[in-house]
Every structure is written in structure tokens, then in C-alpha cells.
Chains A and B, each alone.
Chain A
Amino acid sequence: MTASLDLPDFRAHVRDWCRTHIPEDWRGAQTGVSDAEFVAFQKEWFQELRRAGFAVPHWPAAWGGGMPVARQVVLYQELAAHDAPRLVLAFVSIHHAASTLLAAGTEEQRKRHLPAILDGEIWVQGFSEPDAGSDLAALRTTARREGDTYVVNGQKLWASGAAHADWCLLLARTDPGAPKRRGISYFLMDMRTPGVDVRPIRQATGESHFCEIFLDDAVIPAECLVGPENDGWRVAQETLGAERGMTMLELAERLGNAGFGWLVELCGRPGPGGAAPLDDARVQDRLAGLETELTGLRALCAELVENDRPGPADASIVKLYYSELLQRMTDFGTEVAGLAAHTELRKPLSSGWESGAWVLDFIGSWEWTIPGGSSEIQRSIIGERGLGLPREPKGNR
């Protein structure tokens, strides 16, 4: 239906769609809601996007995607500009799980899960462990082969959204004797498997969407192995980058639209004495500096998705820069907003990382600088892969 539209017409089409489909005042409605309401809203919104062909534009056409990159850029720019709810709950499913299945899964695995994801199947990533954070390859969860199954024991940590998940992308050690990166396998695990126990962890913001997953003799069928046994590290490395690129572009567009817009609005609001922060030249200067950096970030993201041959550290540069800019921006918003910002005790769910509840947004920004390769890890990757600097003397890799 929309395949024949040129880019400006496609943009107009998305704009029209946004005006008629984004729920009015969804932010208000998503503030202080229960988990169940959040999940229901997310699943509904996902189906709304799916009907328009906007849910998984990055998937291959055969599985329901096939939108050209230039159109995806337009789509995410417009969704951001119209402050659409984000696909928070389905994030791992449509990006990480899908890219893993497409890159390394069997045809049966794809057929089983890709259509199910479109119908609302939710995935969680089970990678990190208490003693395997930045040093992910140090993970200790084991998967012991027994006949046609693997028996899994261990503990996963920082599994975002595990409480709502149907399936888990699981890394577990299948060869305890091998060097640590060579003895890991990649599994698809049904979260209803007996022996799988999920316990939410309350995080710094007071929310609890991160979880621990305890695995006690959980049995996984051998057909749920992804790629060859003991080749899981490579599979994980190849598919970890899938959450970058277009998703970073979307986040950058949101930060530049809604995020910066709120910041300007906040700064223009007169305080008790009648003067607005924006009357202060120092505030103007900080805002202009942030707008400049946001412009640079958005251009970096556009390059990352449009470049056929990105540099070896380009994804790390974008992740690092976004994380730290988000932190600087929410810090500034918190500073300008003063004590009034501290009375906003809840932020709207389903929003981006900038919700306008500045204090909680600022505290929550560490959720970007720590996980997914902390800023320190990113700097090492940029130095080593991007600039070719020598690695640390050989430690335990």
C-alpha cells in the first residue's frame, strides 16, 4: 500500500498515522500504573504498530519487515517527533532475539519464534551474572548435556523485563575445561521450564524491571541450542551489535525532540520570582551546548545506519556518546528544575529515557552508562579497535 510512496510522501503518511493513532495523553495514563497495565498497553501499542507495518521494519521482508533503511530513518524520526510510546517491552524480542535467530538460528527455530514475536512473545536476555558483568566471558552458569537435553544450573542477573518474559536468550558454559570464551553455548530457554525462578531486583530508581533468574536443574531440549555447541561466545558477539544502529538513531531522535523540547520549555517557565532560567545567559549557553551535541549525536547515528561499512568502533562511539550526553542533559534538567523536580516521584512508563521527571531520569541514566558494555569498556574498545592502540598486557581473557 505504501511501497510506492517516495520519501516525502512516506513521511507525510507516517505523520498522518501518528496524529490519528498515538493515544492522547498516554504519558499521563502510563504514570503510576501497575505492571499488568504497563504490559497490556505495550502489547496493544505493538499490535497497533504491526498493523501499520511499523513494528519490525528492520526484519527481512519474508518475515514481515523489509523496509528500506532510508524509510526506517524517516519512520523513527517521525515517531520521535510525535512523541510516540516506545516499544520497551518488545525491545529484546524484536531486536536481539530476532537478529540472533536470523543470524544463527535454524529454520525451525525461526519459524517457531519470529511469528510468535509478532504475536507478542516477549524475550529477555540472560547473559550477565553476579561475577560476570563487564567480563561477561567469566560466566559460570553451566549446561550439562544429558541425552537430547541440557541441564542448566546457575544464576543470571540484570535480566531486564524477565518477570514478563516468555523466552530467554541464555548463555551457559558447556565445556568447563576450555578457555573461557571457547566453552560457552547459546540457548533459547522457555521461561516456564521447571527450575526457572525469577526474582525482581529493585534498582536505583525504585523500579524493579531488572531481575535475577535462578536456574536449578532447568532442562532445555537440545534443539534449543543456537549455533554449534561451545560456539556461543561468537554467536553472542555477532548479535550483540544488533541493538545498536537503528535503535540508537531512534533514541537520539527522541532525546533531540522530546528531551530537548522539554528542557527548553522547562527553562522558559518563570520561577517564583517571575524570572525564567532562560533569562540567564549561563543557562542559554548550556542549552546551546547541549543542542549542538545532540545535533552531532543525531548525525553520528544517521551515519551508523546509512554506512555500509561502519568503522570498527562506530557503534561503541555512539553508545558512549549517547549515554553520557543523556546523563549530562538529565543532570542539567535536574539542576534547572530545582526542588520542584524532586516532587515527581514516578515517571511515565513506556517513555524514552527522558520522560521529563528529571531527577528520576538523571538517576536512571546510569542504566545507560553501566550495562551493555560500560562506558569504561566502550572506551577500551574505541581505543583498541577504533584507534589500534595496544591491548592490556595479557591477563585472563
Chain B
Amino acid sequence: MTAETAGFTELHEELREVARDLLGRTAAEAAPDWRAIAGSGWLGLEAPEPLDGAGATFAEVALVLREMGRAAARGPYPAVAVLGVGALGLLESSPGRDLLFRETVAGTAVPAVALEGEAVEGVPFRIGRTARGPLLYGTAAFVRDAPGADRLLLPALDPDGTPVVVEAAPDAPGLEVAEQPVVDETRRFGLVTAHGVEARPDAVRRFRGDPKAAVRRLHERAAVAVACDSLGLSEAMLEATVAYAGVREQFGRAIGSFQAVKHACADMFVQVKVAGKLVDGAVRVQAEGRDDGGVAAAMAKSYACAAAVEVAGKAMQLHGGMGYTWESGVHVHLKRAVLNRALSGSPAAHRGRLAERYPPLARERADA
């Protein structure tokens, strides 16, 4: 290990400890205090230093996300740090964008990015040229933390078909945000509808570089972020199950000494290890800001989120009757795991994207 990576590892270890401590102090059924989150610097990890950020990378954000999954934490941090900061970072600098960036880092603005919750690609809104000037139309379902947001960033196609982002206040005329309650009580979603929202030029923000690539990057970030969450919650479920199986006795011995239970735990461990490798790989590509992150993101999202459902389900099973009670809390992780699996594209949708590469590969091999 080089001195540089050793220092890096130390930094990550510290960040992990702080996160575990802060999230551990949060009361059950409450979101961690937003001022504490802002004060910890987590919102500005990826923001550039001139905009009060830390100039760190997605790798550090991923670490916080994993801890949040582990704790099944509530609140809009993933929506703001992954999509909000992500979108702002991909936009051209302008006074309006820079101001919102600063406010977001400080925790005084809580933006939501209106991407369709289940989508793996695409832009939900469009700007139409009308007699009343440019107006925004469209809907996005299951927009992460839209109900509590005080600013909405709406990805849209401008009249020329170029992806842009329109900034709007939630109470802007023509804009509607309806809460969509879900079984997983740790999450909030909103149905965002725009029927003719004024899109003044100063509220329309353009992407730096290739706008289509920027939209793709946003979706990839969203997918990898959910994979981090699922990995964290899988780790928590594995640890809880191993601890329980080590102390719970039946037939005169710890249930973890029975092969049926032990081997199930071993399978959970293997799944967590594989998920960890795939998530690490996907996070690395995002942190390096590479354009070829789609494959790693699809693999991490599809595997880690499917594995988390199996791991949390096995956790409930191995906790026995106790695991099925509300009090045990295993259900919180299981519900979050199944929600994560659907969020930002199902495993099948992501595998479908991977499979687009196979026909050319098959032809290439047949020709060789």
C-alpha cells in the first residue's frame, strides 16, 4: 500500500466512523438533522472548492450512502447529494446555478431533481414554444424527495430537443407535486407534473459538454447510489443475523451451529462480497468521472439490489418469529431492499442494457 492510498483509506475510515456515529444518534423514525448533515460537510463533498465544496469525489459520497443504507436512514441526503449536486456539477456555471450550488452545500436549499424514479434513461419534461413564451410540460413519477424539496430541478428537452435543466420553485404556477406514499416508510416520493410552467431563460440551465452524456451520467449516478444503499443494508442484515444466530438457542445449542443456518449465512456473506466488489468498481468509475460507466453501473445496480432482497429476506427467515415482528425492525430493511430493487431501473432493465452489447460481440466472434 502506498502512502497516498494509506492516507486515503484513513480518511475514508474517519468519514465512515463519523457517519455511523451521526446516523446512530438519530432517533428511530426520524431523519438525521439536516443542519448536522450540512455541518459535517457531506452535502459539499463533490462541490468545487470555489463554491464552498470539499472538491472530493463520488467515492466519499458513496461511503456515506452505504452507511445510510446500513442504518436505513431517512431524509433527502441521497436525493440532494447524488442528484442535486450531481446535476448542478454537470451544468454550466451561471450566477443562478452558482447561488443554488452554494445554498445546497450550506444546507439552506434542498433541491430535488425530477427524474422518473424507475427510469434508467431519458428526460421527463419538454419545453414548448407557445404564444405565452416558453412553457414546460411533462410528468415524472416517484421523484425522490420531491415533497419536501424547496427547489425543483426539472430535466427537460428544450424546443430544439437538447437536454437542459429548468429550475423552479415547488409552488410555481402550473407545477404540482403530489406525495406518493410507499410501504417503505424511510423513503418519500412525489409525482411531479408540469402543465405549462413558465421557463424563463434565466431559469433554464445548460449542461457543460455533451448534454446527452450528462443525462446519462445522472442516471448512472442514481443507479450506483441505490446500489451503495443496498450494499450497506445487506451488510447490516448479515451482521444482525450472524449475531442473532450466535446467541439464539434451540434444541440446546446456538442455531448458528446448525449447518442449515450456517450455510445460509455463508451464502449471504458471498453475495455481500460479490456485491461489494461490483459496487466498488462502479463507484470508482463514477469517481474518476469517466464516460464509460454504464456497464459497471448496470452490473452493480442489478446485482447488489437483487442480492439485498435475498439477504434481507434470509435475515427475516433466520430471525424466526422475532424477525417477523414490527419491533425487530428487520422489515424496515426488507422493505427498503425491495424498493431499492425497483428504484432507478429493475435488475432486468439493467441487464437488458448490458445485453445490448452481445449481438455485436457474437457477430465479431462468428466472423473471427
- A sample of 20 inter-chain contacts (CB < 8 A) reads A264-B362, A268-B359, A287-B358, A288-B350, A295-B278, A296-B275, A299-B278, A317-B270, A379-B259, A379-B267, A380-B266, A383-B256, A384-B262, A386-B266, A386-B269, A388-B242, A389-B262, A390-B246, A390-B256, A392-B259
**Cβ–Cβ contact B257 & A292, under 8 A:** no
Which chain B positions have C-beta within 8 A of A320?
266, 270
| Residue from A285, A376, A383, A391 in contact with B265 in the complex, judged by beta carbons closer than 8 Å | A383
**Cβ–Cβ contact B299 & A389, under 8 A:** no
**Cβ–Cβ contact A321 & B274, under 8 A:** yes
Known: A276-B362, A292-B302, A392-B259; 5 extra A-B contacts, CB below 8 A, are A267-B362, A288-B352, A292-B278, A317-B269, A390-B253
Q: Which A residues have a C-beta under 8 Å from some C-beta of B?
A: 261, 264-265, 267-269, 276, 278, 281, 284-285, 287-289, 291-293, 295-297, 299-300, 303, 308, 313, 317, 320-321, 376, 378-380, 382-384, 386-393
Residue of B nearest to A265 (CB): B365
Chain B 143-185 per-residue mask, 1 if CB under 8 angstroms from chain A, else 0: 0000000000000000000000000000000000000000000
**In the complex, the 6 A-B pairs of residues with the closest C-beta atoms, listed nearest first:** A268-B362, A288-B351, A284-B355, A383-B262, A299-B277, A296-B274
Number of A-B contacts (CB under 8 A): 134
**Cβ–Cβ contact B263 & A265, under 8 A:** no
**Cβ–Cβ contact A285 & B280, under 8 A:** no
A281 to B352, alpha carbons, bound, how many Å? 8
| Residue from A281, A321, A379, A393 in contact with B263 in the complex, judged by beta carbons closer than 8 Å | A379
A391-B365 CB under 8 A given contacts A299-B281, A386-B269:
no
A337 to B62, alpha carbons, bound, how many Å? 41
User: Which DSSP category, helix, strand, loop or mixed, fits chain A's interface?
Assistant: helix
A361 to B256, alpha carbons, bound, how many Å? 35
**Cβ–Cβ contact B366 & A265, under 8 A:** yes
The answer to the question of B18 belonging to the interface, with a C-beta cut-off of 8 Å to chain A, is no
**Cβ–Cβ contact B273 & A300, under 8 A:** yes
A317 to B262, alpha carbons, bound, how many Å? 14
**Cβ–Cβ contact A300 & B246, under 8 A:** no
Quick one: which of B285-330 are within 8 Å of A by CB? Answer: 298-299, 302-303
A389 to B262, alpha carbons, bound, how many Å? 7
A376 to B264, alpha carbons, bound, how many Å? 11
**Cβ–Cβ contact B277 & A300, under 8 A:** yes
A267 to B266, alpha carbons, bound, how many Å? 33
A269 to B366, alpha carbons, bound, how many Å? 8
Residue of A nearest to B296 (CB): A295
**Cβ–Cβ contact B352 & A293, under 8 A:** no
A265 to B359, alpha carbons, bound, how many Å? 9
Quick one: which of B228-258 are within 8 Å of A by CB? Answer: 238, 242, 245-246, 253-254, 256-257
**Cβ–Cβ contact B246 & A293, under 8 A:** no
The answer to the question of B363 belonging to the interface, with a C-beta cut-off of 8 Å to chain A, is yes
Give the residue among B1, B263, B267 with the most A Cβ atoms within 10 A.
B263
**Cβ–Cβ contact B265 & A296, under 8 A:** no
The answer to the question of B354 belonging to the interface, with a C-beta cut-off of 8 Å to chain A, is yes
* Chain B: minimal CB distance from A356 (Å): 12
**Cβ–Cβ contact A382 & B351, under 8 A:** no
**Cβ–Cβ contact B259 & A284, under 8 A:** no
A264 to B1, alpha carbons, bound, how many Å? 38
Which chain A positions have C-beta within 8 A of B270?
317, 320-321, 382
Which chain B positions have C-beta within 8 A of A296?
274-275, 277-278, 299, 303
A389-B242 CB under 8 A given contacts A320-B270, A382-B270:
yes
Residue of B nearest to A261 (CB): B365
Chain B 1-41 per-residue mask, 1 if CB under 8 angstroms from chain A, else 0: 10000000000000000000000000000000000000000
A376 to B262, alpha carbons, bound, how many Å? 10
